Amino acid sequence: MAGWPARELRMFHIQTLNQIAVCGLERFPRERYEVASEFSQPDAILLRSHRLGAEALHPGLKAVARAGAGVNNITVPAFTAAGVPVFNTPGANANAVKELVLAALLLGSRGILPGIDWVRSLTALDEQAMHATIEAEKKRFRGQELTGRTLGVVGLGAIGSRVAEMALGLGMQVIGFDPALSVDAAWRLPHQVRRMESLPALMARADYVTLHLPLLESTRHLLGREAFSQARPGMRLLNFARDGIVDDAAALEALRAGRLAAYLTDFPSPALMREPGVVALPHLGASTGESEENCARMAADQLIDFLEHGNIVNAVNFPTLVLERSGGHRLAVSNRNVPKMLGQLLSVLADANLNVLDMLNRSREDIAYNLLDLETAPDATVLTRLAAIEGVVGVRRLPPV
């Protein structure tokens, strides 16, 4: 169990499992944190693409943070079961992805790449012959303009809303579909975006479709044979979200049947590599210096706020919960989301004559999380009794402020 008094005043150990931008590492105050890759039992783990499974769990691990949006490389259920929140950084790489989507829209609309390849093949011609050949043959690479076309945005979160705004600025019509649109995301969304009630409705109306969804069981192969059968003929598809959202075999069929005119993706697939109409990039969506720095700063700040105050923002497996500290002694308790848990926690505190000054309780699916500010400090006996309650998976006394 993390949080015994002997551990509260020592420095936090942050283990890095990938190269993290220096500007993010510098967020950790040196007087309270040590950051290194060699720790065997860290308080928190900070990573990017490293694969992290249950083997990383130990009794003192309090949190995991990924400097990036997707957490496919992390075995999240194992950490949830152990009461360890897994943080990500949604929106930190949004501008980088948005700009790459813009490039993909242009590459999918104009004969840019085949034109470049063809021009490079004209090395045997002199200047006069080259100019004459280009003028005679350039019609082979004729494309279409984006203005007036309809872009369908599937997923209207931090990235999708930016892409929608960008497309509106290009003179495109924008429609969107997101069955899980949050209130915050709805506020970010430009009012000109017309929301569709279903994916088939969007597919039937869009000249271009761009995906901005996490990879979940519910989104795996979301774009499959059925979805492609509903697409407007000649549609261009962009996938700069996650590998697995598009069924590659179904995309290949759609390309060959003319349902898809082009498929532009950040996730190369052997099945599609040599197919005409496919433009595959080597996972460049967040590969900018600015994006890596934004993700590193955001991940570090979230870890600091959690380790020092227990606040949770942008965890993929725990509820969002922020409680301002106004004195007192803070406890953080995570537990299974089952009835009567809060009553049992408060009963233990009451038996110890501990007065609760302030508290918050939130749940998310199978896990619940509590922050409690107490008038006096709980001792080790109280922490042990709380941890012994059936269904409690983590108890931590926060460092004093």
- Whether 159 maps to a domain, the answer reads yes
Domain interval for residue 49? 5-90+289-397
User: Which pLDDT value is given to residue 189?
Assistant: 85
- Encode pLDDT of 362-380 as tens digits: 999 999 999 999 999 999 9
Higher pLDDT, 91 or 262: 262
Residue 188 belongs to a domain: yes
Q: Is 274 exposed, middle or buried (0-12, 13-18, 19+ CB in 10 A)?
A: exposed
* Residue 234 dihedral angles phi and psi, to the nearest 5°: 85, 10
Q: What percent of the chain has pLDDT over 70?
A: 97
Q: Is residue 45 part of a domain?
A: yes
| 168 and 271 co-located in one domain | yes
Residue where a domain terminates, one of 250, 280, 310: 280
Has residue 247 been placed in a domain? yes
Of 280, 306, 321, which marks where a domain is finished? Answer: 280
Residues 99, 221, single domain; the answer is yes
pLDDT in tens, 160-196: 999 999 999 999 999 999 988 776 777 778 899 999 9
Specify whether 248 is located in the same domain as 350: no
Shared-domain flag, residues 163 and 265: yes
Are 80 and 219 found together in one domain?
Answer: no
Distance CA 99, CA 165 (A): 12
Taking the C-alpha atoms of residue 299 and residue 58, their distance in angstroms, rounded to an integer, is 21
Residues 246 and 103 in one domain: yes
Residue 294 included in any domain: yes
CB distance 47 to 17 below 8 Å: yes
Residue 197, in any domain of the structure: yes
Q: Is the same domain home to 211 and 342? A: no
261 phi and psi angles, rounded to 5 deg: -90, -30
For 254, the token pair is 């759609």
* 46, 16 contact by CB (below 8 A): yes
- Judge if 255 and 358 occupy the same domain: no
End-to-end CA distance of the chain: 22
| CATH number for position 342 | 3.40.50.720
Q: Which pLDDT tens digit goes with each residue over 27-63?
A: 999 999 999 999 999 999 999 999 999 999 999 999 9
Residues 274 and 308 in one domain: no
For 240, phi then psi, to 5°, come to -120, 30
- Distance (Å, whole) CA 119 – CA 134: 8
User: Is 130 part of a structural domain of the chain?
Assistant: no
Q: Is the pTM of this model over 0.75?
A: yes
Q: Is 227 a domain residue?
A: yes
Answer yes or no: do 276 and 295 share one domain. Answer: no
pLDDT-based confidence at residue 9 (cuts at 50, 70, 90): low
Whether residues 220 and 306 share a domain: the answer is: no
Among 280, 301, 329, the domain boundary falls at 280
Kindly state whether residues 238 and 376 are assigned to the same domain.
Answer: no
**Structural domain count of the chain:** 2
> How does pLDDT run across 243-262, given as a tens digit for each residue?
999 999 999 999 999 999 99
Provide the pLDDT for residue 4: 37
Contacts 24+ apart (CB under 8 A), 36-45: 39/13, 39/14, 39/15, 41/13, 42/13, 42/14, 42/15, 43/2, 43/12, 43/13, 43/14, 43/307, 44/12, 44/13, 44/14, 44/15, 44/303, 44/307, 45/14, 45/15, 45/16, 45/17
